[in-house]
A and B are shown apart, each in its own frame.
Chain A
Amino acid sequence: MHLHTSCSPVNPDPQSLPAAVEFRDVTVVRGGVHILDGVTATVPRGGCTAIVGPNGAGKSTLLLTLLGELPYSGRIHLDVAEGRPRVGYVPQRLEFDRGLPMTVEEFMSMGSQRIPLWFGCRKKSRDRAQQLLASVRADGLAQRQLGALSGGEVQRVLLALALQQDPELLILDEPAAGVDFQGELLFCELLEGLRRNRGFTQLMVSHDLSTVTHHASHVICLNRCVAAEGSPQDVLTPQNLAAVFGVHMGLVDRSSMPDQAASCSATCCDHDQDH
């Protein structure tokens, strides 16, 4: 990752702030196949950027290159306040060993506590875990076994773990996969509130266009290269969707998207979105 340190003055207009992430001509080739081909895109600071595209479009690959997990050509520029970028990551479905005996509290402490867990969780990490779990509405889970959690609970605990990094950039890969509709609404609502309070930049991959229309402030439409980029109402047009997904996606009702920000009548969208 190319890191850059900058001290930009506080500016109320997000458009003039430097982008949180810039992809410049990012190409990933594996086994002779171009998985990403010259991707140039921007993730505006402070907003919620969604990457959409069909299966095999390279959405998760783009996140993995950003995390430094895959070799690529081109440039990825992370603009951070100072030092190392603070990144929080919520993977698609944590493939973990459910037979591992571990409490949620230990899960929250394994990255932050230096004293080995042989001696239990220290009071400090216990309090911090409690606080973070409360912020994702998972207060009651601290003593539960990690392997016994439902898909939605795992997702919230993973979000708490990512928030422990005090992230400037929160990266989510299909946050709603494996979660029922009600759980998805709650999760989106939760993220909205957290983003408003903590002021991080949110970057997520989603295959669910209704989630995107309701929550994203910026959309990158990806199909190995960037097919379209901009605000949801500019990008999620029937023409673009037909071009990228290959069929007409009747999911997006543009009339539900007023002027600047995407919005809807769902409980999670009761409040105004970030600009």
Chain B
Amino acid sequence: MTLIATLSEFIGWLLPFECMQDRFMQQAMLGLVLLAPMAAAMGVQVVNFRMAFFADAISHSAFAGVAIGLLFSLDPQWTMPLFAILVGLAIMAAQRRSALSSDTIIGVSFSAVMAFGIAVVSRDSGMRRQIDQFVFGDILTIDDTGLLCLIALFAALLAFQAFSYNRLLYVGLNPVLAKAHCVHVAVYQYLYVGLLSLVVIFAVWIVGVLLVTALLVVPAAAARCMARTAGGMFWWAIIVSVSSAIIGLLISAQPWADTATGATVILVAFGWFTVSAAVSAVRA
């Protein structure tokens, strides 16, 4: 995989730290700096649409995705994202049609997919490692195929965001108004949820299910405090997210720290949020 090798070496050159000279660290950094801006961009809309709980439900469906892989002897790397997209689209369809409130619908789906995953996986005593990885994530296990998929998703997401950012703001402000004014609300909503499911699955892989929502929401929340315009909010979310990813990974690799990467990244992002909240308070 020459593309990945070249990119990894470039990262090693760009960040001339001792810990960054190992190939697996370079790949981990590459994975993080691809995932972080995607999570930040999608996070802006997660916050606008109030979909944090929705994202949480999708992330928990990853476990059921693994279970389905086990049941049918399929590679969980493929059953996980496919099942997540299915769950995301199904919840969106139910929300658009049902008279039940959206958090009730999400709560029901959330517990159903989680229970299914636990039921299947609990039959197999050799699954402890799978559970650990699901809960805490493991950036160091990301391989060349995974990175190539991340690059492809990055390109698709960039195109989608560039095309839809303005209209997604419209839908987020008020979907009825957007639809009356000729915005294809349903198309944007389904496309958004499909892509969000994929980003969430990668995030589960890298930072673990417990921290996925944080990766989506914290940079966007900090950006809301810092920015004064909707365009600026996007850039602030990216800056907060990417800088937290780089600093977080470097800290976690230091011998004196030796912490879990995902958690360290989120802590740095939370530091950003505290600063931004203070800035916002001073302004007001």
Contact = CB atoms under 8 A, between A and B. Distances in A.
A56 interface: no
Contacts of A158: 177
B232 A101 contact: yes
A101 B233 contact: yes
A30 B172 CA distance: 26
Contact of B176 (A69, A117, A120, A161): A69
SS class, residues of chain B in contact with chain A: helix
B181 A102 contact: no
Interface stretch (B68-76, B145-153, B161-169, B193-201): B161-169
B174 A95 contact: yes
Contacts of B48: 97, 100
Interface stretch (A20-28, A82-90, A242-250): A82-90
Contacts of B167: 110-111
Interface residues on A, range: 35 or more
Interface residues on B, range: 20 to 34
Contacts of A161: 177, 181
Contacts of B182: 84, 165
A100 B173 contact: yes
Contacts of A67: 176, 179-180
SS class, residues of chain A in contact with chain B: loop
A133 to B, nearest CB: 17
A171 to B, nearest CB: 7
Interface string B167-191: 1011011101111111100000000
Contacts of B235: 118
Interface centre among B161, B170, B231, B234 (most CB of A within 10 A): B231
Contacts of B229: 101-103, 106, 117, 120
Contacts of A103: 228-230
Interface of B: 48, 99, 161-163, 165-167, 169-170, 172-174, 176-183, 224, 227-235
Given A101-B228, A101-B233, A106-B169, 13 more contacts: A67-B176, A69-B176, A87-B181, A89-B176, A94-B173, A97-B172, A100-B230, A102-B229, A109-B166, A111-B167, A114-B163, A114-B166, A117-B229
13 contacts: A67-B176, A69-B176, A88-B181, A89-B177, A94-B173, A94-B177, A97-B173, A101-B227, A111-B170, A118-B231, A120-B229, A164-B181, A165-B181
Interface of A: 30-31, 64, 67-69, 84, 87-89, 91, 94-97, 99-103, 106-107, 109-111, 113-114, 116-120, 145, 158, 161-162, 164-165, 171
